[in-house]
Homo-oligomer: A and B are copies of this chain.
């Protein structure tokens, strides 16, 4: 039985989900919902209709899982509990500090309506969370390290764009190679923020803007840049378009741990991602979680789940028999 998927919100992420569905033959795109005028939205899949967001609830019977592709700041805290009343849902809520609060709101809505809601699907939170939890579970004596990059951070790029005199900006988060090497060699250092990542910024300034002032404002910006070694490059609009239009990302999760009666043996677990497209990889994780949500619902489960609650086999299109015979 093909799993019928709806997409709520058609930006980078919604488009990524649409692409992922094309390559997962056990799922199909059934409807796209938008807050824009549906007439103005063009999607890639032929024969699929675009609806106004308000029409979603009335289509509950035609959609097995609704994927929420809004932002974590203002969209998802409202949308996920709301749509969990009508649908099994998946979101990619990624404000780490607010996950417990979001979980509680979504769990209540999903339990009351008898649906399954998977929140925080993606790679961090998501695949990286899995690595942190598996690493700690199998090596309880040890330390976890998470490095991001090299990749474009949307939040940091946006922060630069809000500076007066900045026309466009792209910020790359870059892990410090010597920090990675220290962990790989078996050390368990305690790093400062500055020792783990550097930040590289490419900025298109408006004509006549004070570049020194812009640079100063970037490198001293609290939370975003002040605690990092930050370099700023001013480039032209053409260079921005030519060299920085992609959204690569990735990173590393390492667990350094010890076993043995006197903890005499060292072990290093390393998980890394090298992604050409951050939104498309996130979307691919979301698609796999939609499959799991559908299965959990069919088993009679309800409530809010994260990827930590999902048996890995549920994410796979293969049956348990196939997995045991070919992947285990």
A residues with CB within 8 A of B: 16, 18-20, 22-24, 44, 96, 99-100, 103, 120, 125, 127, 129-130, 132-134, 136-141, 144, 184, 259-261, 263, 265-277, 280-281, 283-285, 287-288, 291, 306-313, 315-318, 320-321, 323-325, 327-328
Q: How far is the CA of A324 from the CA of B95 in the complex (A)?
A: 12
Given A140-B24, A259-B19, A260-B19, CB of A310 within 8 Å of CB of B311: yes
Q: Which 6 A-B pairs have the closest CB atoms?
A: A265-B276, A137-B315, A265-B277, A259-B280, A268-B274, A308-B313
Residues of B within 8 A of A140 (CB): 23-24, 317
Q: How far is the CA of A179 from the CA of B328 in the complex (A)?
A: 23
Residues of B within 8 A of A284 (CB): 138-139, 259
Q: How far is the CA of A274 from the CA of B20 in the complex (A)?
A: 33
B308 touches A312 (CB 8 A): yes
Residues of B within 8 A of A307 (CB): 312
A328 touches B125 (CB 8 A): yes
Given A284-B138, A328-B99, CB of A273 within 8 Å of CB of B265: no
A137 touches B316 (CB 8 A): yes
Residue from B20, B268, B291, B318 in contact with A273 in the complex, judged by beta carbons closer than 8 Å: B268
B321 touches A138 (CB 8 A): no
Given A19-B259, A273-B269, CB of A137 within 8 Å of CB of B288: yes
Query: Can you show 16 pairs from A to B with CB atoms below 8 A apart?
Result: A16-B259, A99-B325, A100-B324, A103-B324, A130-B134, A133-B312, A136-B316, A136-B327, A137-B317, A265-B276, A267-B273, A268-B273, A271-B271, A308-B328, A309-B311, A311-B311
Q: How far is the CA of A132 from the CA of B318 in the complex (A)?
A: 12
Residue from B23, B136, B261, B280 in contact with A19 in the complex, judged by beta carbons closer than 8 Å: B261
Q: A136-B318, A138-B281, A184-B274 are in contact. List 7 more A-B contacts (CB 8 A).
A: A138-B288, A260-B277, A265-B275, A267-B281, A270-B272, A308-B312, A308-B323
Residues of B within 8 A of A138 (CB): 127, 281, 284-285, 287-288, 315
Given A20-B259, A316-B136, CB of A274 within 8 Å of CB of B267: yes
Residues of B within 8 A of A323 (CB): 133, 308
CB distance from A146 to the nearest CB of B (A): 10
CB distance from A286 to the nearest CB of B (A): 9
Given A265-B280, A311-B310, CB of A328 within 8 Å of CB of B134: no
Residue from B22, B103, B259, B291 in contact with A23 in the complex, judged by beta carbons closer than 8 Å: B259
Residue from B141, B287, B320, B328 in contact with A129 in the complex, judged by beta carbons closer than 8 Å: B328
Q: How far is the CA of A221 from the CA of B209 in the complex (A)?
A: 74
Given A22-B261, A327-B133, CB of A270 within 8 Å of CB of B271: yes
